A and B are shown apart, each in its own frame.
Chain A
């Protein structure tokens, strides 16, 4: 099966390693990957702040970019939710099915073999909120549980948001910070040194907070964990 990669604007702009890891993981699981270069941003920042005109413009652009795709995979629960649910609500549905990375692996490649880690690795998993809407959180759990020598430590208040919320983090920066600090507290309490999530928005926010607070935690995208377990 050939999949079209929707990189996401955050990976495109800041976190190239996540794009690379995603391609490696998909290829390891037996898929051929295509990257349509004209892709940019799905329009979610505009959509969430109520700027539906811009959101529709970006939706039409994105739909055109992925016109010929059979299936679209993206390393983000948030973007997957936007191009499925959000586009639907804007009256601009995307035709090819769109999956978050692990939800896709879980559905079409649950038999993938991972060599795992040489040393036992313990992580705390932050399931992103928008990922929940597209089944990503549960899929992270299932896919990561097939990786040898990897343990997901139990996390308190797993359903709670990290406080990023896209434009919320600049509209309500203090509240966003307070929510994030609470999340960091729960993550630190697990005892894990590594925090894994399927959304770069959450990771970028939590990592920024942790560095400012002097909390030493490593933040990895789920694709990076999987690609180092190939």
Chain B
């Protein structure tokens, strides 16, 4: 039995059920949301694939342009050709801005797993704390993520409860809400202590030198806002040509990953803090990792670099559902891992990981960037076959299949093959050969064959698509309201605000509130007030721009956030909403949330639990 099957065999039934149940739920949510969001999903996927291919066909020059733009914006850019170089760069930066023993907060990043960053920094004596709920559990358990989006998909709430209890995070509880609350309060201090925050990146925008980072919990924003230094690590394939590509990719990414219309937080980072800003990191470092990507971009596996790491291919994969990510014994698992590992490492180092697929093709069906995963799996199997010595199990086919007398002989005795011990009959009954042989039947039938024309016809109908009406401001606010309520936020009035019992507030300086309040630090305040630039009706999002008067933590650290938006500042689509991003900004879509524990939605992890939007005239 090979390693993969050996893992599957010992996998507890409960873990298998956690994995397949969560995969089913997310796959269903994905299908519903994407059908609602896109009139023509395949056209959108095609456009996304084409956009990525433009970059990938000339990757080096896009990387150079991106690096130049980022430096012009005031970030410091490093290029690392492999994991060792990336780790060295990062530990040098850590040494510059902190000392061994210090806390470093880290947001979820697959590329950091790829290079083994945590182990490296730990070996240098740093105290790296994972802040994403799932990754935090993984770290406490000395485990590894088993899914690129849902790292603890293989655990249930009882596992998490035991871990938290054992580590002294609070009294034993298996309620996902209480567990999230325990993680929140434990990690609060870490954000405040840390001098450095490390994150991954979802998209790097070449024209603007902007990093786009998406998340739901708020830990990523906190990790990259509270500490004075932000180190962003990204694979060089994460580039998109321009800001105008962001709305399409955002919708495809989160729709595919979790079935949301927009992530709770879309963080736009283009420069370090400037004079006059109250918070945000003074240093932004960007580490661009190659680690085999340039080579892949110039070979048969190029399209695998389109991947946006949404995990949809894993969720829908029948093999993944039964085996979980750990069976693949690689950082990237599931269908994407079965292609990415051979592509990056070569056939010998990656072994037979590409065989962990039935080639059913659902991965390709759901992939938002149309990666032809089954074809690439076959490619990887071909590459592996080329370096494996000896006769192939199927090479006899070329002999038998081209000589009819031999073929007929084999057909006749095919059932004998099942008489000997074999993997088939170990688990299921052998096929029963029909008494009726087609060739025998045909030789008598063909002399008698006649044709009978058919008569009746049948009408076929197709669903016409309805064009949407143009919408006025009120209609847009009502659409916005519907979305916001679905997300668990609400549209509030100043009267609601006046009734808030606790007045320890943290207010952005550009906002002149019409009432008295007790000014508090963002970490102490119960409510934070900020001004939003624009509301987006189709997703129920608000865009906050970080200018010189902004206070980013006001929308992030207090458990309750109030965003004030001028009445007329509402647009229908994400594309319109993101048309004018300014410099640093964040798109907020509903209250902070997580579904890391058993896919159960919990509101308010690291970011605010309550989100109110006030329309101001």
Q: Chain A contacts of B352 at CB under 8 A?
A: 171
Closest Cβ of chain A to B134, distance in Å, is 25
- Most A C-beta atoms less than 10 A away, residue of B401, B415, B437: B401
Whether B454 lies near A30 (C-beta < 8 A) is yes
Number of interface residues of B (CB under 8 A): 82
Chain B positions within 8 Å of A177 at CB level:
427-428
A197 within 8 Å of B by Cβ? no
Alpha-carbon separation in the docked complex, A4 to B547 (Å): 71
Interface string of B397-422 (1 = CB under 8 A from A): 11011101001001100110000001
B4 is an interface residue with CB less than 8 A from chain A: yes
Q: How far is the CB of A138 from chain B (nearest CB, A)?
A: 12
Residue B275 at the chain A interface, CB threshold 8 Å: no
Partner of A179, one of B2, B322, B393: B322
With A49-B381, A168-B359 known as contacts, the answer to whether A111 contacts B8 (CB < 8 A) is no
Contact of A165 among B357, B385, B411, B430 (CB under 8 A): B357
Residues in chain B near residue A28, CB distance under 8 A:
452, 454
Question: Binary interface profile of A, 150-184, with partner B (CB < 8 Å = 1, else 0)?
Answer: 00000001011101111111111111111110100
Question: Which of A12-20, A93-101, A117-125, A188-196 lies at the interface?
Answer: A12-20
Q: Is the CB of B402 within 8 A of A61?
A: yes
* A161–B358 CB distance below 8 A: yes
State whether the Cβ of A129 lies closer than 8 Å to any Cβ in chain B. Answer: yes
Selected interface stretch from B66-74, B114-122, B175-183, B441-449? B441-449
Asked if A171 and B355 sit within 8 Å, CB to CB, the answer is: yes
The reply to whether A54 and B358 contact each other, CB–CB distance below 8 Å, is no
**Do A15 and B434 touch (CB < 8 A)?**
yes
Question: Which B residue's beta carbon lies closest to that of A213?
Answer: B428
Segment 301-329 of B: residues with Cβ below 8 Å from A: 316, 318-319, 321-323
> Given contacts A30-B451, A40-B401, is CB(A163)–CB(B318) below 8 Å?
yes
Question: Interface residues of A toward B: which range?
Answer: 35 or more
Task: Give chain A's interface secondary structure class.
Answer: helix
Tell yes or no: B360 within 8 A of A by CB: yes
A50 and B382 contact, CB distance less than 8 A: yes
Contact B384 A50, beta carbon cutoff 8 Å: yes
**Contacting residue for A159 out of B4, B362, B384, B456, CB 8 A:** B362
Q: Is B423 an interface residue (CB 8 A)?
A: yes
B400 contacts A40, C-beta separation under 8 Å: yes
For residue B24, CB closer than 8 A to chain A, the reply is yes
* Chain B residues near A69 (CB-CB < 8 A): none
Contacts of B173 in A (CB 8 A): none
Q: Which residues of A contact B323 (CB under 8 A)?
A: 175
Q: Is A48 part of the contact surface with B, judged by Cβ < 8 Å?
A: yes
Q: Which residues of B contact A113 (CB under 8 A)?
A: 454-456
In the complex, which residues of chain B have a beta carbon less than 8 angstroms from the beta carbon of A180? 428
Q: How far apart are B374's CB and chain A's nearest CB, in angstroms?
A: 9
Segment 88-141 of A: residues with Cβ below 8 Å from B: 89, 109-113, 129-130, 132-133
CB distance from B427 to the nearest CB of A (A): 4
Q: Is the CB of B358 within 8 A of A53?
A: no
**Chain A proximity of B574: nearest CB distance (Å):** 28
Which of A17, A23, A52 meets B385, CB within 8 Å?
Answer: A52
- For the complex, give the distance between the alpha carbons of A132 and B363 in Å: 13
Q: Within the complex, which residue of A58, A167, A178 is in contact with B398, where a contact is CB–CB below 8 Å?
A: A58
Contact A54 B392 (CB under 8 A): yes
Residues of B within 8 A of A52 (CB): 382, 385
What is the distance, in angstroms, from A56's C-beta to the closest C-beta of chain B?
A: 9
- The one of A19, A35, A61, A175 that contacts B401, using a Cβ cutoff of 8 Å: A61
Once bound together, how far apart are the Cα atoms of A172 and B1, in whole Å? 9
Contacts of A20 in B (CB 8 A): 436, 438, 441, 445
Annotate B427-469 by CB proximity to A: 1 below 8 A, 0 otherwise.
1111111111111111001100111111111101000000000
State A26–B201 Cα separation when bound (angstroms): 56
Q: Does A43 contact B (CB under 8 A)?
A: yes
A51 interface residue per 8 A CB criterion: yes
B375: Cβ under 8 A from any A Cβ:
yes
- B37: which A residues are within 8 A, CB to CB? none
For the complex formed, measure the closest distance between the CB of B41 and the CB atoms of chain A, giving whole angstroms: 15
How long is the Cα–Cα vector from A89 to B376 in the complex, in angstroms?
11
CB < 8 Å neighbour of A166 from B24, B359, B439 = B359
Q: Closest CB of chain B to A136's CB: distance in Å? A: 12
* Distance, CA A58 to CA B384, complexed state (A): 20
Contact flag A161-B430 (CB < 8 Å), given A38-B404, A110-B458, A169-B424:
no
> What residues of A have a CB within 8 angstroms of the CB of B414 in the complex?
13-14
A132 touches which of B361, B383, B397, B411 (Cβ 8 Å): B361
Asked whether any CB of chain B lies closer than 8 Å to the CB of A71, the reply is: no
B395 near A51 with CB under 8 A, answer: yes
Q: Looking at the complex, which one of B16, B380, B442 makes contact with A23 (CB distance below 8 Å)? A: B442
Task: List residues of chain B with CB within 8 A of the CB of A211.
Answer: 428-429
Residues of the A chain whose Cβ atoms lie less than 8 Å from the Cβ of B427: 173-174, 176-177, 209, 212
Pair B361/A12 contact, Cβ less than 8 Å? no
Choose among B4, B452, B458 the residue that contacts A146 (Cβ–Cβ < 8 A). B458
CB-based contact A16/B454 at 8 Å: no
A174 to B356, CA, bound (A): 11
Which residues of A approach B to under 8 Å, CB–CB?
A: 7, 11-20, 23, 27-33, 35, 37-38, 40-41, 43, 45-54, 57-58, 61, 89, 109-113, 129-130, 132-133, 146, 157, 159-161, 163-180, 182, 204-205, 207-209, 211-212
5 shortest A-B CB distances, which residue pairs? Answer: A165-B358, A50-B381, A19-B438, A208-B428, A161-B360
Extra contacts, 9 of them, besides A13-B433, A30-B452, A172-B356 (Cβ < 8 A), are A7-B438, A19-B441, A27-B449, A49-B392, A112-B454, A173-B424, A173-B426, A175-B322, A179-B322
List, sorted by A's number, 28 A–B pairs whose CB atoms are closer than 8 Å: A12-B411, A17-B434, A23-B449, A29-B454, A35-B446, A49-B392, A50-B384, A53-B398, A54-B395, A58-B402, A89-B378, A110-B458, A110-B460, A159-B316, A159-B365, A161-B358, A165-B359, A166-B358, A170-B422, A173-B5, A174-B1, A174-B8, A176-B427, A177-B428, A178-B16, A182-B318, A208-B429, A209-B429
